[in-house]
Chain A
Amino acid sequence: MSEKMHMELKVWRQAGPGQPGRFVTYDAPGVSPDMSFLEMLDLVNERLVEDGEEPFAFDHDCREGICGSCGLMINGQAHGPERATATCQLHMRKFSDGDQVTVEPWRAAAFPVIKDLAVDRSTLDRIVEAGGYITVATGSAPDANLIPIPKPVADASMDAAACIGCGACVAACPNGAAQLFTSAKLQHLNLLPQGQAERWDRTISMVEEMESFFGSCTNHGECEEACPKSISIDFIALLNRDYVRAQLKQRRLAGQSFP
């Protein structure tokens, strides 16, 4: 059995939306290096409950890196020090005995704090609602591979579709921009034949919804580093390209409807 670690935890406590918050320091002995970061938080919270104190709130669900619920600023990095890893899959062995670990919620105008470490990320859902879908005829399922798609295109689309919507890109961005999220949600459809019919409308709608709540991309590349799915900022370039083309295409399409 591995040695237990003794850590010190600095957690952001905030009673509710818009309330003042502050860091509270908790002693965290008996942390196993095999624990995930969330299990370590559970451990501290259980002790708080036993001591009659209020545990701190944080978001989590699948705990296997696929739902995107978890997401914390750990020592100034979104999802902590390990690359391509969500907070739930971050192991405590990445820290050392005696470390002080600071945990802060995502910070953005679009992500208001609900309580302590939990933030409301429904603005991301709004971007998807604005155009992150395709229209298909319902009925019996079509044959698989009915539409041939070149392998590199399918791969690129899948790389974009790996986005779990955790919001780490926004959290890590010095501008609070959601460009990486939006570009992933946009390009996994725009790259495929099935996404073509609504491509230009989708591009404009999603970009405009994004711009209502988020900042603007200045190409720092912090989002790519923070992304638990290693989604590339190349998709942001594709979003930028599609947005210009959409502005031009929309005009042509509109022209066709009024001959």
Chain B
Amino acid sequence: MAQATSTKERPAAQPVRKPLGRGVAWPVAFYRSAVGKKWVMAVTGLMLLGFVLVHMIGNLKLYLSRQDINLYGEALRDLGGHLVPHTSLLWLLRGGIVVALVLHLHSAVTLTRLNSRARPDKYQAPRDYIAANFASRTMRYSGVLIAFYLLFHLADLTWGNANPDFVRGDPYNNLVYSFQRVPVAILYAVANVALGVHLLHGVWSVFQSLGINNPRFNRARRLLAQGVVAVIVVGNVSFPIAVQAGIVDLECPHTDPVAPCEAAAASAR
């Protein structure tokens, strides 16, 4: 009769990361820790969310007139008026967004690599997930997709190298020309859906990572995430649809970008 054999060797778990190290300045120690990185991820995520929301709301001026949205663009460059040099405040905001984006990406990459070290051997049988949903399990993919789209989006509408009809200082025309190209309109819609999926988990996750927890409003956190996603996705995706459907078109191409349009002026009269 066979008996259970005993194993002589005891396995010892190896650390998955270097010691955090005491004695360093606390912000450094904090960012070195995974909990701290999640905190940074949440704060930078909130900053980026704020940017996306303001960006979407500002772009709604597309539905007013060419003059309105172009003047809005000019107003952004002119933030602070004559108190500060022209475009300086805008560059400050841009700098903040870039720093937030870099930290968000850096913590995401580092934590993802830590997590794969924490489970080197995958489950050999299929896993049956209960709580993890599509959004939470695809954060890294939706994030990467958004990052690549962002590069194209900047090349298309900020730098102009991906837009043959680009005119600096005339966002209305740039946007209409861009979205009249069907592949660009589709790409834009797809990227925004990815953004929505990313935020569906992200907005809820912010509360957990920052420790904002109270049984009184815990249920509302998911609802808030859904509401934010609905507003952002519907708002953003409406732009290419409006251009493709001809609701928004070139009112008066290639004249003074911030002058009132003759057609619009005529109808206003």
Q: Does A98 contact B (CB under 8 A)?
A: no
Q: Chain A interface secondary structure, helix, strand, loop or mixed? A: mixed
Question: Which A residues touch B161, using CB under 8 A?
Answer: none
Q: Is the CB of B211 within 8 A of A241?
A: yes
A contact residues, range? 35 or more
Which of A10, A122, A236 is the one whose CB lies under 8 Å from B208?
A: A236
Nearest-neighbour CB distance to chain A for B140, whole angstroms, equals: 9
Q: Is the CB of B2 within 8 A of A49?
A: yes
Given A77-B128, A107-B122: A213 in contact with B4 (beta carbons within 8 A): no
Q: Does A215 contact B (CB under 8 A)?
A: yes
Given A75-B128, A76-B123, A247-B36: A211 in contact with B1 (beta carbons within 8 A): no
Q: Is the CB of B9 within 8 A of A219?
A: no
Q: Does A17 contact B (CB under 8 A)?
A: yes
Q: Does B207 contact A (CB under 8 A)?
A: yes
Segment among B27-35, B49-57, B152-160, B244-252 that sits at the interface with chain A: B27-35
Of residues 211 through 243 on chain A, the ones whose CB sits less than 8 Å from some CB of chain B are 211-222, 224-226, 233-234, 236-243
Proximity string of chain B (106-121) to chain A, C-beta cutoff 8 Å, 1 when within and 0 when not:
0000010011011111
Question: Which B residues touch A243, using CB under 8 A?
Answer: 33, 35-36
Q: Is the CB of B5 within 8 A of A123?
A: no
Q: Does B210 contact A (CB under 8 A)?
A: yes
Q: Does A251 contact B (CB under 8 A)?
A: yes
Nearest-neighbour CB distance to chain B for A195, whole angstroms, equals: 17
Q: Is the CB of B17 within 8 A of A212?
A: yes
Q: Is the CB of B118 within 8 A of A110?
A: yes
Q: Does B26 contact A (CB under 8 A)?
A: yes
Which of A225, A234, A242 is the one whose CB lies under 8 Å from B215?
A: A234
A209 to B20, CA, bound (A): 10
Q: Is the CB of A104 within 8 A of B211?
A: no
Most buried by B among A10, A55, A208, A226: A208
B contact residues, range? 35 or more
Q: Is the CB of A17 within 8 A of B11?
A: yes
Q: Is the CB of A104 within 8 A of B39?
A: no
Most buried by B among A53, A111, A237, A240: A240
Given A234-B213, A250-B26: A176 in contact with B118 (beta carbons within 8 A): yes
Q: Does B124 contact A (CB under 8 A)?
A: yes
Which of A16, A109, A111, A233 is the one whose CB lies under 8 Å from B9?
A: A16
Q: Does A148 contact B (CB under 8 A)?
A: no
Given A54-B5, A238-B211: A220 in contact with B11 (beta carbons within 8 A): no
Proximity string of chain A (99-123) to chain B, C-beta cutoff 8 Å, 1 when within and 0 when not:
0001010011111111100001011
Q: Is the CB of A216 within 8 A of B130?
A: no
Q: Is the CB of B13 within 8 A of A237?
A: no
A residues at B contact (CB < 8 Å) = 10, 12, 16-18, 23, 48-50, 52-55, 57, 73, 75-77, 102, 104, 107-115, 120, 122-123, 174-177, 207-208, 211-222, 224-226, 233-234, 236-244, 247-248, 250-251
Q: List 16 A-B contacts (CB under 8 A).
A: A49-B1, A54-B5, A73-B125, A76-B126, A102-B125, A112-B11, A113-B11, A115-B7, A174-B119, A176-B115, A212-B19, A219-B201, A222-B131, A224-B131, A237-B207, A247-B36
Given contacts A222-B129, A225-B130, 4 further A-B contacts (CB under 8 A): A216-B37, A237-B213, A240-B210, A243-B36
